Amino acid sequence: MNATAAAVRDNPAGNVELGPLPDAPHSATLQADAVVVGSGAGGAVVAATLAEAGWDVLVLEEGPMVRTDDIRRWSMAERLVRLYRDSGLSAAAGVPPVALPMGRCVGGTTTVNSGTCFPTPGAVLDAWARSGLHALSPPAFTPLLREVEEVIGVRQIGRDIMGGNARMAEAGARNAGLHGALLHRNERGCIGSGQCPMGCPQGAKQDMRMTYLPRAAQAGARILAGVRVRSLDHDGGTMRGVTAERVDVSGATLRGSRITVRAPVVVLSAGAVYTPVLLLRAGLGGAHVGRHLAVHPTTEAAGFVAERVEGWRGVQQSYGIHPEPGVTIEATFPPGGTALRYLPLSGPALKELMARWAHAVLLGVMVVDGGNGRVRLAPGGTPLVTYRLGDAEAGRLVRGLAHTARVLRAAGAREVYTPLRGLPVLAAGDDPSVIECARGRDLALAAFHPLGTARMAAREADGPVDPQGRVRGARGLLVADASLLPGAPGVNPQVTIMALALHVARELVQAGAPARRRLS
């Protein structure tokens, strides 16, 4: 197992892209200074940082390797099944249930997110610092955010690729008297394909396969795809490594597979649902593990205007509007048939709207939430995710939806279609304020930012992970992913996650030479 992935420069946008990976062994015992579980926003940053510091790093990713050429070749249904965990059908149980799609492929959710980037808001960093997390104060953390933004190519969307959906959102915000701006994204060479959540067919989005993973590979890190970690191996809390198994694209274990990794340092970067699952299975981390799940619940609305918008042309998530604190409206036109779900009708009425699809304007609403969810272990060791929509979140959502309807109206939409049970359409004469009377349970919700389930806290009483990313009570076990966030930042969190991972990795490097070498 000496082979490392090649970083190549052959994708359509002319970017560096992680090359083909060596096949993972069916069964083997491997050694490393550090094993990183997961290759998404957290794991990739940790892998690159440790490998470039001379550590022998092994990255284990449960999902398959996917290259830009694959994305271009696959149908939308194939992409949904191959890039998303559970074909995108993951959900948090509750009233209402919350659809919770998560990436499951090399690069993790960064491969299938919208690419929207925000720095952590200063007020959020201030609050985290006041809780005793001094490394997250604005002066200490902002340089990490800037470094990440530089690596992943964050820049504001250009007007040449913003697309018609963004233009309508911009006009609507201006006419409604609301502040808005084109979003920032991580891309180099974007042509506005509008396909981000199904993988970039241009290889322009600077997800982990284009940035930190090639760096990790070039520094000698080994990256294995199709390997699922079953358990954390430890002696009384001192890490010995992990036990894993080969899986196929459907997640089925290859018969008899068993991969044992001996490593004194284990970094959990499996995301806010699966990192706590591994901790709970191992009985590590204490009572906070799996609690405080925040998701940034979202809902959506559609309007139809007189002019042709052709919202599928241009950047998929493009324009942000901030009508009140804790509420963000984002112009979002999902690719393919996934966008049609914005239309709350069936039968001939739905087809009437489809025939006017070129005139559709789609907006999503995202709100900050208070960590009302939880990840537990279900029988069989799988995750059971629950989420309780609180009154505060429900209020923000229905007010946000009313603001969205006003923006659509101000953009020229006569009818506005909503996801509210019993109120599918707001007709031309209806006052959008009527939406504010709706109950949270009548919304159709999705969420794309699960976080906070193994949160960093200054005091043991407040969270299972210390300010250096170390799991309390476990020697050599760290967390570096969305689980770590002390609370919901209220903005798309990928840059925050990467900067936190960078902080954790740098602290680890600073702590000393790789432990395996030191011990040997």
Partner 1 sequence: MLPRALQRTLAAIADAVVPPGGAFPEGAADVDAAGALLRTWSEMQPAARRSLAAMLVALDAAALLRTGRRWHALPLPRRVQLCDALEQRGGAVQRSAFLGVKTLVLVGFAADPRVQQRLGTEGWPPQLIRP
**Which residues would be at the binding site for partner 1 (CB under 8 A)?**
12-14, 72, 75-78, 80-82, 85-87, 89-91, 95-97, 99, 104, 189, 191, 193-195, 201-202, 249-252, 310, 312-313, 336-338, 340-341, 344-348, 350-352, 354-355, 357-358, 382, 421-422, 424, 441, 444
Asked if 492 and 114 touch (Cβ cutoff 8 Å), the reply is yes
Nearer to partner 1, 31 or 87 (CB): 87
Rounded Cα distance between 234 and 100, Å, is: 31
Nearer to partner 1, 189 or 390 (CB): 189
Nearer to partner 1, 12 or 473 (CB): 12
Active-site option among 234, 292, 449, 503: 449
Nearer to partner 1, 178 or 254 (CB): 254
Nearer to partner 1, 189 or 220 (CB): 189
Rounded Cα distance between 104 and 65, Å, is: 10
For residue 444, the minimal CB distance to partner 1 (Å) is: 6
Nearer to partner 1, 163 or 323 (CB): 163
SS3 string of 177-217? CCCEEECEEEECCCCCCCCHHHCCCCCCECCCCCCHHHHHH
Compute the residue count for the chain: 520
For residue 458, the minimal CB distance to partner 1 (Å) is: 36
For residue 75, the minimal CB distance to partner 1 (Å) is: 6
- 3 state SS of 60: strand
For residue 62, the minimal CB distance to partner 1 (Å) is: 10
Structure tokens at 114: 């919208």
Structure tokens at 262: 């001996």
The alpha carbon of residue 124 and the mean position of all alpha carbons in its chain are separated, in whole angstroms, by 19
Asked if 84 and 103 touch (Cβ cutoff 8 Å), the reply is yes
Asked if 119 and 145 touch (Cβ cutoff 8 Å), the reply is yes
Q: What is the secondary structure of 295-327 as a DSSP string?
A: --EEEEEEEE-SS---TTSS-SEEEEEEEETTE
Active site residue 134: no
| Burial letters 462-499, b for 16+ CB under 10 A, else e | ebbbbbebbbbebebbbbbbbbbbbbbbbbbbbbbbbb
Q: 58: phi > 0 → left, psi -120 to 50 → alpha, else beta; which?
A: beta
Nearer to partner 1, 182 or 420 (CB): 420
Q: Which of 291, 296, 335 is nearest to 461 (CA)?
A: 291
Nearer to partner 1, 63 or 464 (CB): 63
Rounded Cα distance between 245 and 260, Å, is: 8
- The secondary structure element, H or E, covering residue 83 is helix 76-83
SS3 string of 335-403? CHHHHHHHCCCCHHHHHHHHCCHHHEEEEEEEECCCCCEEEEECCCCCEEEEECCCHHHHHHHHHHHHH
Asked if 350 and 272 touch (Cβ cutoff 8 Å), the reply is no
For residue 494, the minimal CB distance to partner 1 (Å) is: 22
Q: Which of 483, 58, 499 is nearest to 275 (CA)?
A: 483
For residue 265, the minimal CB distance to partner 1 (Å) is: 29
Structure tokens at 517: 């070498």
For residue 498, the minimal CB distance to partner 1 (Å) is: 25
Alpha-carbon dihedral 276, 82, 108, 55, rounded to 10 degrees: 100
Nearer to partner 1, 181 or 249 (CB): 249
C-alpha pair distances (Å), 426 with each of 141, 169, 321, 404, 417? 44, 18, 21, 12, 6
For residue 398, the minimal CB distance to partner 1 (Å) is: 17
For residue 181, the minimal CB distance to partner 1 (Å) is: 25
Which residues are annotated as catalytic?
Answer: 449
